[in-house]
Chain A
């Protein structure tokens, strides 16, 4: 079974600071990788995803993530955060099967951006 670790539980940054949230997974086969964001009072939204190809993927709102296969990592980055990025961020993984398969989520990282 796969597992996902997010090491940063709560991150506080000032506006314009750079962001990197760690995500490591454990699984013996090929995986799909996702980052979801949950703004306060809202539902989960897909930020970006990696299935194959270029390991550096760009998502919405200026976010990007890099898949490093040798490190089993898929860290999320943003060069300059905004107050509106305050939210909970979840890394998730599912086995590559070509069809819908269950997602395993990390515990989430709460990002707080201060003005």
Chain B
């Protein structure tokens, strides 16, 4: 149980375009999902916390207008990187906390974004 999927697993796009990444909890309902960014050989940095039915909470330094988060249902959160630039190239990982068992986060496989 507690499986989280992400789609796509990797994406290459041109500078200036927008990219949407989906995060789904497959066998549980997730009240809260989190979006992280991981640079090569570094740890995960939290970008934002996404709560179902409400606005996301962004960490300091993360542009909310650039990284749009939508958590429309208890099993799906999306991260849209708007007007992507090469410096946005990274590994984006989501995690989900199960409703009622919310202290543990389960991680998705990540999405590698390359902006040319």
Q: B102: CB under 8 A from chain A?
A: yes
Q: Do A90 and B108 form a contact, CB below 8 Å, given A32-B103, A100-B32?
A: no
A63 touches B (CB below 8 Å): no
Instruction: Using known A-B contacts A99-B32, A102-B34, A107-B43, determine if residue A44 contacts B93 with beta carbons closer than 8 Å.
Output: yes
- At the interface, is chain A mostly helix, strand, loop or mixed? loop
Assuming the contacts A42-B109, A100-B31, A100-B32, asked whether A105 and B104 have C-beta atoms less than 8 A apart, the reply is no
Q: Is the CB of A43 within 8 A of B43?
A: no
Cα separation A107 to B42 with both chains bound (whole Å): 6
Which residues of B are in contact with A by a Cβ distance under 8 Å? 31-32, 34, 42-46, 49, 59, 93, 95, 97, 102-110
Residue ranges of A at the interface with B (Cβ–Cβ < 8 Å) = 32, 34, 36, 42-46, 49, 51, 90, 94, 96, 98-100, 102-108
The answer to whether B49 and A43 have CB atoms under 8 Å apart is no
What are 25 A-B residue pairs whose CB atoms fall within 8 Å in the complex?
Answer: A42-B109, A43-B93, A43-B108, A43-B110, A44-B93, A44-B95, A45-B107, A49-B103, A51-B103, A98-B103, A99-B31, A99-B32, A99-B102, A100-B32, A100-B102, A100-B105, A102-B46, A102-B49, A103-B34, A103-B44, A103-B105, A105-B45, A106-B43, A107-B43, A108-B42
Q: Could you tell me if A90 and B34 are in contact, using CB atoms closer than 8 angstroms?
A: no
Supplied contacts A36-B107, A46-B104, A100-B32, 12 more A-B pairs, CB within 8 Å: A43-B93, A46-B106, A49-B103, A49-B104, A99-B32, A99-B102, A99-B103, A100-B49, A100-B102, A103-B46, A107-B42, A107-B43
SS of B interface (majority): strand
| A-B pairs under 8 A by CB, number | 55
Partner of B43, one of A34, A49, A100, A108: A108
Quick one: which of A45, A46, A51 has the most chain B CB within 10 A? A46
What residues on B are CB-neighbors of A102 within 8 Å?
Answer: 34, 46, 49, 59
Instruction: Please give, as numbers and ranges, the residues of chain B lying within 8 Å of A51 by CB-CB distance.
Output: 103
**Lowest 5 A-B CB distances belong to which pairs?**
A100-B97, A100-B32, A44-B107, A43-B109, A100-B102
Report the nearest B residue to A32, measured CB to CB. B103
From B57, which residue of chain A is reached at the shortest CB distance?
A: A102
